[in-house]
Amino acid sequence: MALLGVKVIELAGLAPAPFCGMILADFGAKVIRVDRTKVFSTLDTQARGKRSVALNLKMPEGVALLRRLCVQSDVVLEPYRKGVMEKLGLGPSELLSENPRLIYARLTGYGQSGCYASAAGHDINYLAMSGLLSQLGRSGEKPYAPLNLVADFAGGGLTCALGIVLALLERTRSGKGQIIDASMVEGAAFTGSFLWKSRRLGIWSRPRGENLLDSGAPFYDTYKTLDGKYLAVGAIETEFYDQLLKGLELDAGELPPQMSFSDWPELKQLFTERFASKTQADWLMIFDGTDACVTPVLSFDQVSSHPHNRERGSFMKDSSGEEFPRPAPILSRTPAEPCLASGPAVGEHTVEVLLDYGYTSAEIDEMLAAGVVQCNTGKAKL
């Protein structure tokens, strides 16, 4: 796997940092999640392939232990509010002076500077601050956040993983680590570069929900079918739009031009009525093999059995039979190999990891007794 041999320390966080760690683990990195002690369950659902160490960072011995783990690692990933790591004596100046090759990734909402840097927030706040949220939503309705996909995951976890991989690549030349300041506001805005750069094309100049790709255009929206299911339509280019009209049995000559904004509401009404006249399966038969850009809106239960996804193996099953998306993209020689076992319990691997990092059994027993670390499986106890 591409990241084989890379050692990552991930301090336990909410959604974005665990996703970042999961990407690295899927592609071969050895990821250790550092959990708190006295916590017996975790909400982390993105922990496959990781090991967990439970460690009390409020004790000086816990801080010293984390420093020692970082000396022997390639990456530390921290998801706390600005200043938390410095307060613990675990800031970049300390850790990089002990390990100049360390990549110190800081994944926050607002970044390490600016007047919001210390403020609490979540995806919706970061998305709002990126400018993107103002563009999302249907006509006449308030802005709408598409789950927490854009800031937490695309702009946050994924962008941070890119930063880590870039820093690892650069380190092969310089031999040096560096600090990554991953702000979800900036990551989300960067993900939305197309919107920024295409504003001058005039495709975003109308109010929210009345533009080309924001559900304004009749040829770029979802439609309900006779059986209460949905279809997604994305027929932008003229030649594809023509095929859409053909499938809908509409005569282009009798309709307003495709790009006549003022006629879009009327056209949309017409498309809505047409799509409502047949079942989803009927429409899929009609559009099958064409370039009309019509696809079913699949539920989570349906995705893996759709012939296209099934042929590519786009979804996998873990050892408990639960489906999940295969890591993307596919590398031809060194593809990801996601772990199929469930994620670790808090502190499940404390002893195992500390032994790996050179602690003796006696030292580990001492730290367990003092509450510096905690081990939560009988079998992993010394």
Given the rule CB under 6 A, which residues bind ligand MRS?
Answer: 11, 13-16, 34, 36, 43, 55-58, 79-81, 84, 87-88, 108-109, 120-123, 148, 152
Residue among 35, 74, 123, 152 flagged as catalytic: 152
Give the C-alpha separation, 34 to 21, whole Å. 12
Minimum CB separation from ligand MRS for residue 245, in Å? 41
Q: Which is nearer to ligand MRS, 67 or 206 (CB)?
A: 67
Owner of token pair 């927030």: 121
Between 26 and 152, CB nearer to ligand MRS: 152
Q: At what angle do helices 361-370 and 60-71 cross, to 10 degrees?
A: 140
Contact 127, 150 (CB under 8 A): yes
The HSE-up count of residue 139 (CA atoms within 13 Å, CB side) is: 16
- In Å, what is the CA distance from 21 to each residue of 29, 230, 273? 9, 35, 46
Cβ atoms 129, 185 nearer than 8 A = yes
Which is nearest to 130 in space by CA: 104, 159, 162? Answer: 159
Q: State the minimum distance, in angstroms, from the CB of residue 139 to ligand MRS.
A: 26
Q: How far is the CB of 64 from ligand MRS (least distance, A)?
A: 13
Nearer to ligand MRS, 184 or 292 (CB): 184
Q: Please report how close the Cβ of residue 9 comes to ligand MRS at its closest, in angstroms.
A: 11
* Percent of residues in the chain assigned helix, strand, coil, to nearest 5: 40, 15, 45
What strands lie across the sheet with 230-234, from one edge to the other? Answer: 220-224, 230-234, 294-296
Tell me how far, at minimum, the Cβ of 372 lies from ligand MRS, in Å. 10
365 is a catalytic site residue: no
Q: How many CB atoms lie within 10 A of CB 352?
A: 17
Q: Is 306 among the catalytic positions?
A: no
Let me know how many helices (H) and strands (E) the chain has, helices first: 15, 12
C-alpha–C-alpha distance, residues 53 and 68, integer Å? 13
Please, which residue, 110 or 264, has the CB nearer to ligand MRS?
A: 110
Beta carbon nearer to ligand MRS, 31 or 336: 31
CB of 118 to ligand MRS, least distance (A): 8
Helix axes 159-174, 184-191, angle to 10 degrees: 100
List residues with catalytic annotation.
122, 152
